[in-house]
Amino acid sequence: MQSNIVFIDPKICRENLSVLKSIFDKHGITFWLSYGTCLGAIREGGFIAHDDDIDLDTYLQDRKRIMAIMPELKAQGFELIFVDKVRLQITRKGFDIDIYSCSKFSSKKLKMSGWLCGYELIETDFFSELKTIDFLGEEYKVPKEPIDYLIYLYGESWQKPIKNFWDRYSKDPQNLSLDLEICRENLKLIKSVLQDKHGIKFWLAEETCRDALLSTSNLIGECLTINTHLEDKGKILEILPELNQCGFETIKVSYVKFTYEYNLSLAIQLQRKNQLIKIDFVRSSNFSGRLRRIYWFYGKKSFDVNFFEKLETVVFLGEQYYVPSYPIKYLTSLYGSIWKKQEFNQLDRETRISLLTQILQEEKQIKLPCLERWMRFWEPENSLIRDGDMFTVKEFDQSLRKGMIVLTRRRDANEGQALDQLSLERIVEVRSDNQVCLTSDFYTQVNTSCKASDLIGHVISFRSRILGLTIPLDSKVIQSIFSFIMSSLRRLRSFKKF
């Protein structure tokens, strides 16, 4: 399969950047080159040949002014194609520019501070002062210490281009299996350096843990994933050069990604022999969190079971490795009761939904995690529901009725067409023509209608990790209370936006 990634055209992108610079300079909007664009400017004196867009940073206080000059940008050929709280994406002549908003950040609770740039926390102050460099015949700003900034993002090997960087993005989704022998070799090397030599305990996580428990010879996913404790982050950063000597290329280091809830995801990404390895960090909850039965945070996931204090061992690829305690419960909390179904990761969303329907018919009842990667239920900023919460869905065993919460295909609000996403809806009317009218308490959407046969299953319970409670949803009274709370929260958050 050929890659659908279009590499930037240096001539067009140089023009796009120059036009944007002239407009920003006219209105006094400060911006600087960031990420891959800054890397290309410092390392190569131009754009990276295999880059696919331009990355820029601005100060958060300039965001409203940028939005205000959108008509002027449009007059120069730019189109706004994406916007959220921290990122604008515009395009011109077929090539995109990402503009991230940056602001200072400090949290006593998280014991972290720095600059929140887009979705990432940069834990060093590179942006209070900026430096001007010559780039493509014009003067552009970059962080004051650009080399330190690039080392922070990409490690000491930032000067070495990564070969075949985009290969993993060009794979056919149905052929994402990792190379078994290379992964065996990579894991063994990481174990010898981190665990055997430096005493840093790590464990197999996510899909890698699932592969280990299933003892499969067909590894699923685009990377190996391992976890370690946040306290070991500094040690791993110190021994990165040692891993580089073993053939590992550093793609990203000190990668701190924030979510809507400001839970953070920390990861180091490595690559060896074109196989990706991701090291994610977990942190223990504070005391108040433990009172709420939350023991660990991992990215935007929280766990109400203490999976990571005591570990178990399994034999995987001929070696002994650690996995979380209660590994089956751990995998169920991530992937639901269908965690053994590896084929989900090999299929497109459309086929996954069909397979899910088939599994529900066979097993009669399944558990599904919220916001899993292969499905999407609602917009997280508009809901009480959080990643890692769990719904129990059963096959319909009674007639449809008003108030019932159902799992169905998400539909386009304007055209009513079924999308390749799942959705939780509440039945507001059952019609005589075998049609049902649905509404959502989980995101802003007008009522839609569909055939009763298009519904997938009946949602009978919801488990909240934060509350540590399982709420039954098959009672009319509880359905009404639950729906009222969800819709009220949605309206409240929509009001706050104004």
Cβ proximity of 385 and 412 under 8 Å: no
Cβ proximity of 360 and 366 under 8 Å: yes
**Sign of the dihedral through C-alpha 366, 298, 323, 216:** positive
Q: What is the CATH number of domain 10-154?
A: 3.30.460.40
User: What element of type H or E holds 252?
Assistant: strand 249-258
- Examine domains 167-336 and 347-496 and report if their fold is the same: no
SS (HEC) of 406-454: EEEEEECCCCCCEEEEEEEEEEEEECCCCEEEEECCCCCCCCEEEEHHH
- What pLDDT, on a 0 to 100 scale, did the predictor assign at position 38? 96
- What pLDDT, on a 0 to 100 scale, did the predictor assign at position 3? 47
Structure tokens at 102: 């940056």
Contacts of 420 (CB under 8 A, 6+ apart): 348, 349, 350, 353
Distance CA 497, CA 494 (A): 5
Structure tokens at 459: 């949602």
Helices 146-154 and 35-43 pack at an angle, to 10 degrees, of 120
- Fold of domain 167-336: Beta Polymerase; domain 2 (3.30.460)
Distance CA 76, CA 92 (A): 9
- What pLDDT, on a 0 to 100 scale, did the predictor assign at position 88? 92
Distance CA 154, CA 480 (A): 51
Distance CA 131, CA 39 (A): 14
Please give the angle made by the CA atoms of 403, 407 and 409, to the nearest 5 degrees: 120
- What pLDDT, on a 0 to 100 scale, did the predictor assign at position 257? 57
Distance CA 369, CA 395 (A): 17
Which superfamily does CATH assign the domain made up of 347-496 to? Answer: Umud Fragment, subunit A (2.10.109.10)
Where in the chain are the domains?
10-154, 167-336, 347-496
Cβ proximity of 162 and 177 under 8 Å: no
User: What element of type H or E holds 487?
Assistant: helix 476-496
- What pLDDT, on a 0 to 100 scale, did the predictor assign at position 401? 82
Structure tokens at 481: 């209370």
Cβ proximity of 143 and 127 under 8 Å: yes
**Sign of the dihedral through C-alpha 415, 416, 420, 425:** positive
Q: What is the pLDDT along the chain (498 residues), one digit of tens a residue?
A: 334 567 889 999 999 999 999 999 999 999 999 999 999 999 999 999 888 899 999 999 999 999 999 999 999 999 999 888 889 999 999 999 999 999 998 877 666 788 988 878 888 899 999 999 999 999 999 999 999 999 888 877 788 887 655 554 444 444 446 889 999 999 999 999 999 999 999 999 988 999 999 887 778 777 899 999 988 888 988 898 899 899 998 877 655 555 444 445 567 888 898 888 999 888 876 655 544 555 676 665 677 778 998 999 999 999 999 999 999 999 988 888 888 876 665 556 677 777 788 888 888 998 887 754 545 444 444 455 666 678 889 988 778 888 888 888 766 555 555 566 677 788 888 888 878 887 766 554 557 777 887 888 898 888 876 666 788 877 666 666 766 666 666 556 554 443
- What pLDDT, on a 0 to 100 scale, did the predictor assign at position 264? 55
Give 204's strand partners: 226
Contacts of 373 (CB under 8 A, 6+ apart): none
Cβ proximity of 118 and 87 under 8 Å: yes
- What pLDDT, on a 0 to 100 scale, did the predictor assign at position 498? 35
N-terminal to C-terminal alpha carbon distance within the chain: 46
Please give the angle made by the CA atoms of 424, 428 and 432, to the nearest 5 degrees: 115
String of DSSP letters for 14-46: HHHHHHHHHHHHHTT--EEE-HHHHHHHHHTSS
